[in-house]
Amino acid sequence: MPNGCIKVVDHPWAGNLLGVPRTIWKGALSFGLVNIPVGLYPATSDKSIHFNQFEEGTSDRIRYKKVNERTGDEVQQDRIVRGFDLGGGEYVILSEEELESAEPKKSRQVEISDFVEQADIDPVYFRSSYYLAPEGAGADKAYALLRQAMADSGRVAIATLVMRNKEYLVAIRPDDEVLALHTMYFSDEVRSPGRDITVPDTEDVTDRELSMAQLLIESMESDWDPERYHDTHRQKVEALIEEKRSGHEIVLQAEPEAPAKVVDLMEALNASIAAAARPEGRSARSKPAAKRAASGRAAPAKKPAKKAAKQPARTKTVARRKAS
């Protein structure tokens, strides 16, 4: 066995990847008097590399036990209750029965209450993403009808969902092929940046600096292509695991940190624009303007009328968020 490797299980180290997605919830999508049987599927998969812990030099796993802080004795799960910290060493103790009495009423309905403009929802409210799929032959037509009607209207549905004894606020939007469901934060869970962060204003920004910054943005324009972006840290860890599994010696060599330099803002903008204009910088990005011209569509910057129409609603959303 290669040096530094401990064989504990027979499956490959990469065996934690997800297989075929399965439904994590089944129920009905309800709006008005219409009920569509649906299943909820995960829209993403966790590709993080997970490790177990061992005592160094052995194949002995590290385990955690729940112990009494005062006596050090292990406490069995059926003897554990939960307490809310009031501060100053004072707690409110609640039993499982008391907590169950406050759980939301079990429901198999995703009840739509509103249809809103997606542009009115600040992305900070979105939490996790799922796909809604029709369940059963009788659901197909109603599902397809709702998805197409929502796509034509440009609206997303706001609903509530009870899953795993927790109530969620959700947004449902029409995707290219399915209805996507996003769990959301409630308004009192979203922090106001104006209250928590000191944000500089733009009074000291000159017109020339703003023009240069806009020019830099234009020079870096690209169509969104998720395949261009990769988790380089995960790739490096995977390579380390594979090398050590193969018995190769790993030599650690830290890269020296480049000293931070304070540069003139205009000088930095000019240098950035020059770098973006080089062939190697341009080749890494697609040409959105050329592609739009070929397809006969106007660039996003040339649609001020639609943007202006959305502005009042957007201001209203931000105002609601700050009020929280």
Q: How confident is the model at residue 316 (pLDDT cuts 50, 70, 90)?
A: very low
Domains, the chain, ranges and CATH?
25-48+105-190 (2.40.290.10)
What gap in Å lies between CA 150 and CA 159, rounded to an integer?
Answer: 14
Q: What is the pLDDT of residue 263?
A: 63
Q: How confident is the model at residue 309 (pLDDT cuts 50, 70, 90)?
A: very low
> Residues 31-57: what's their mean pLDDT?
92
Statement: residue 298 has pLDDT above 60:
no
Statement: residue 19 has pLDDT above 70:
no
Q: What is the pLDDT of residue 167?
A: 92
Contact assessment for residue 160 and residue 111, using Cβ atoms and an 8 Å cutoff: yes
Kind and range of the H or E run holding 304: helix 304-323
Q: What is the pLDDT of residue 259?
A: 63
Q: What is the pLDDT of residue 4?
A: 54
Lowest average pLDDT, out of 104-108, 187-191, 281-285, 318-322, goes to 318-322
Write out the two tokens for 302: 């040339």
pLDDT in tens, 110-155: 999 999 999 999 999 999 999 999 998 889 999 999 999 999 999 9
Q: How confident is the model at residue 183 (pLDDT cuts 50, 70, 90)?
A: very high
Q: In this structure, what are the phi and psi dihedrals at residue 165, rounded to the nearest 5 degrees?
A: 60, 25
| Cβ-Cβ contacts under 8 Å for 122 (sequence gap 6 or more) | 190, 317, 318, 321
Burial class (CB in 10 A: 0-12, 13-18, 19+), 174: buried
Q: What is the pLDDT of residue 3?
A: 52
Sequential DSSP letters for 71-124: T--B--GGG--EEEEEETTEEEEE-HHHHHHTSPPP--EEEEEEEEEGGGS-GG
Q: How confident is the model at residue 100 (pLDDT cuts 50, 70, 90)?
A: confident
- Beta-strand relationship, 109-117 and 25-31: parallel
- Tell me which of 147 and 290 has the higher pLDDT: 147
What gap in Å lies between CA 288 and CA 294, rounded to an integer?
Answer: 10
Contact assessment for residue 116 and residue 316, using Cβ atoms and an 8 Å cutoff: no
Statement: residue 242 has pLDDT above 80:
yes
Instruction: State CA 148 to chain mean position distance.
Output: 26
| Cβ-Cβ contacts under 8 Å for 265 (sequence gap 6 or more) | 209
What gap in Å lies between CA 186 and CA 171, rounded to an integer?
Answer: 12
The most confident of 106-110, 298-302, 311-315, by mean pLDDT = 106-110
Amino acid letter, residue 191? R
Instruction: State CA 232 to chain mean position distance.
Output: 18
Burial class (CB in 10 A: 0-12, 13-18, 19+), 164: exposed
Q: How confident is the model at residue 84 (pLDDT cuts 50, 70, 90)?
A: very high
First to last CA, the chain: 59
Give 37's DSSP letter.
Answer: E
Q: What is the pLDDT of residue 184?
A: 97
- Tell me which of 15 and 218 has the higher pLDDT: 218
